[in-house]
């Protein structure tokens, strides 16, 4: 049975190819929120704060109690093309697919030897990967 709330890796791959590098970075690493504006109501002291992500142009809004600092409401208005309506959450295998798409597009990957910081052995990697690892010469 397919999880209706989880995005399929094939859908994530298709959407990721349509996103630009900035949208990919926000999806993978999170938004780079920067202050945009804030205003306060004179009577209620409610503070409305807006931050913007310069990469994907999404805006984060907060309504804050001007006396206590408690947040009454918060929401994000996402930039054009950022949301994938009906696709489901990008978690699990979908998140892994997104990570590979982003890393291969954002970075110039050099070929060579990598010593895993995690301490994972070549044998464990071999078991986890769908393709064989070539032995170093």
Span 49-107, pLDDT tens digits: 999 999 999 999 999 999 999 999 999 999 888 888 888 888 899 999 999 999 998 88
Burial class (CB in 10 A: 0-12, 13-18, 19+), 8: middle
CB atoms within 10 A of CB 51: 18
In this structure, of 26-35, 59-68, 104-113, 116-125, the range with the lowest mean pLDDT score is 116-125
CB atoms within 10 A of CB 17: 10
**Global pTM value:** 0.72
CA angle 54, 58, 59 (to 5 degrees): 100
Q: State the pLDDT at residue 135.
A: 58
The domain ranges of the chain are 9-128
């Amino acid at each position: 049975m397919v999880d209706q709330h989880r995005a399929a890796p094939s859908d994530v791959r298709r959407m990721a190819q349509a996103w630009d590098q900035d949208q990919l970075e926000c999806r993978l690493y999170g938004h780079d929120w920067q202050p945009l504006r804030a205003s306060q109501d004179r009577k209620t002291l409610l503070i409305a704060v807006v931050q913007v992500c310069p990469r994907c142009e999404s805006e984060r809004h907060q309504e804050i109690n001007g006396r206590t600092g408690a947040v009454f409401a918060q929401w994000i208005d996402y930039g054009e093309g950022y949301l994938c309506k009906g696709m489901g959450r990008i978690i699990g295998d979908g998140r892994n697919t997104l990570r590979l798409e982003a890393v291969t597009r954002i970075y110039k990957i050099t070929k060579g030897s990598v010593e895993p910081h995690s301490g994972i052995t070549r044998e464990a990697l071999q078991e986890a990967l769908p393709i064989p690892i070539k032995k170093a010469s």
